[in-house]
A = this chain, B = another copy of it.
Amino acid sequence: MSNPTLLILPGDGIGPEVMTEVRKVIDWMGSSRGISFDVSEALVGGASYDAHGTPLTDETMEQAQSVDAVLLGAVGGPKYDDLDFSVKPERGLLRLRKEMDLYANLRPAQCFDALADFSSLKKDVVAGLDIMIIRELTSGIYFGEPRGIITEGNERIGINTQRYTESEIARVARSAFELARKRGNKVCSMEKANVMESGVLWRRVVTEVHEAEYSDVELSHMYADAGAMQLCRWPKQFDVIVTDNLFGDLLSDAAAMLTGSLGMLPSASLGAPMSNGRPKALYEPVHGSAPDIAGQGKANPIACILSFAMALRYSFDLGEEATRVEQAVEKVLADGLRTADLIGEEGVSPVSTSAMGDAIIAAL
């Protein structure tokens, strides 16, 4: 049987640095566990724009469609701020999500014990926190038409469209209920049904799917603004949160920051099963490209390494190997190793990106 295939897209900013460390873990899987991958690499985002004038070439798009899983670093940076909207680095990532139809974005917000003190929240509010935000990723205001900047009279007008079909809502709701069954069996759905009709439909369809197929799971609804509040107040009240593309963008970032573990958090973006039974999948850290520290060996590779662990679990059914990687990460943290982003005021000195990667390999 041929090896499973991985496409690595390091992207911009700290993307390439953290991906170098992920490579070490991939190599270790082959040499020490006999689990080998066929790895290819390509450009995305600003890096692709610089080389090819587009944030994602058709060739790379095709490659992404044909591999078993894609690992992405990060895209974007101030260097590209003045680019035309259609070739911004982010368009590359958005095209991948859309064309691979990766509708369920799994974003765990987890607080690592060793880092509970590092959160801006009180320790008892975040210690042991483990919630999963499922963000719809292929529709909503990110992709709706009409969109653009038009001129009427002598005024410019900016337009975007939020548009959700019931099947788009239903399929991501199913992902959330399925996941909840393997966790705390609780789903909270968030929208603004008090203000937006698309939120009214969202709430209705989630309720219908729940009644028809998942009545064993506990379902609640919350307005997204109240959700933002409750995440800040007492995040442990949640198990699985399901929400739309735009709310999910803000809420999952806020949740990630609350854990104090932003540089630690992975994500998986999953679509429908391919002919080999594996879901279409892209894995990426929740953090961005952090251009301010790029190239200085300061970046934290853990989020990206844990994204690879998610790939082991969700794409390759290698849950045990995933746990092995996660435990190695916990071990180096417990040993006191910290990259610069994890240093508070205590005066610990930080280790470099590559030293962190090496320590994780050693712990494996």
- Cα separation A249 to B246 with both chains bound (whole Å): 13
A226 to B254, CA, bound (A): 8
Cα–Cα, bound, A315→B144 (Å)? 41
Which chain A residues in 210-247 approach chain B with CB under 8 Å? Answer: 224-226, 228-234, 246-247
From B76, B148, B164, B246, A197 is in contact (CB under 8 Å) with B148
Q: Which B residues lie within 8 Å of A94 (CB)?
A: 195
Using Cβ atoms and an 8 Å threshold, which residues of chain B touch A258?
A: 232
- C-alpha gap A199/B122 in the complex (Å): 34
Which of A166, A194, A230, A288 has most chain B Cβ within 10 Å? A194
- The answer on a CB contact under 8 Å between B192 and A249 is yes
A149 within 8 A of B: yes
- Whether, in the assembled complex, A177 has its beta carbon less than 8 Å from a beta carbon of chain B, the answer is no
Distance (whole angstroms) from the CB of A344 to the closest CB of chain B: 11
- Asked, given contacts A85-B200, A197-B85, whether A159 binds B157 with beta carbons under 8 Å apart, the answer is no
Q: Which chain A residues numbered 178 to 202 have a C-beta less than 8 Å away from chain B?
A: 192, 194-202
CB pair B232 A250 closer than 8 Å: no
B162 and A156 contact, CB distance less than 8 A: no
Could you tell me if B158 and A159 are in contact, using CB atoms closer than 8 angstroms?
no
Contacts of A3 in B (CB 8 A): none
Which residue of chain B lies nearest to A227 when distances are taken between CB atoms in the complex?
A: B250
Closest B residue to A231 by beta carbon equals B254
Q: Min CB distance, A161 to chain B, in Å?
A: 6
Q: Inside 8 A of A232's CB, which chain B residues have their CB?
A: 120-121, 232, 254, 257-258
Residues of B within 8 A of A125 (CB): 120
Q: Say whether A256 faces chain B, with CB atoms less than 8 Å apart.
A: yes
Q: Looking at A94, A152, A161, A195, which has the most chain B CB atoms within 10 Å of its CB?
A: A195
Q: Are B156 and A166 in contact, CB atoms less than 8 angstroms apart?
A: yes
Q: Is the CB of A90 within 8 A of B120?
A: no
The residues in A between 28 and 86 inclusive whose CB is less than 8 angstroms from any CB of B are 76, 85
B156 touches A197 (CB 8 A): no
In the complex, the answer to whether A226 meets B288 with C-beta atoms within 8 Å is yes
Closest A-B pairs by Cβ, 10 of them: A158-B201, A158-B198, A229-B257, A228-B254, A225-B253, A160-B162, A232-B257, A90-B194, A228-B250, A120-B125
10 A-B residue pairs with CB within 8 Å: A120-B233, A120-B234, A121-B121, A147-B196, A149-B200, A155-B167, A156-B165, A156-B166, A158-B163, A160-B162
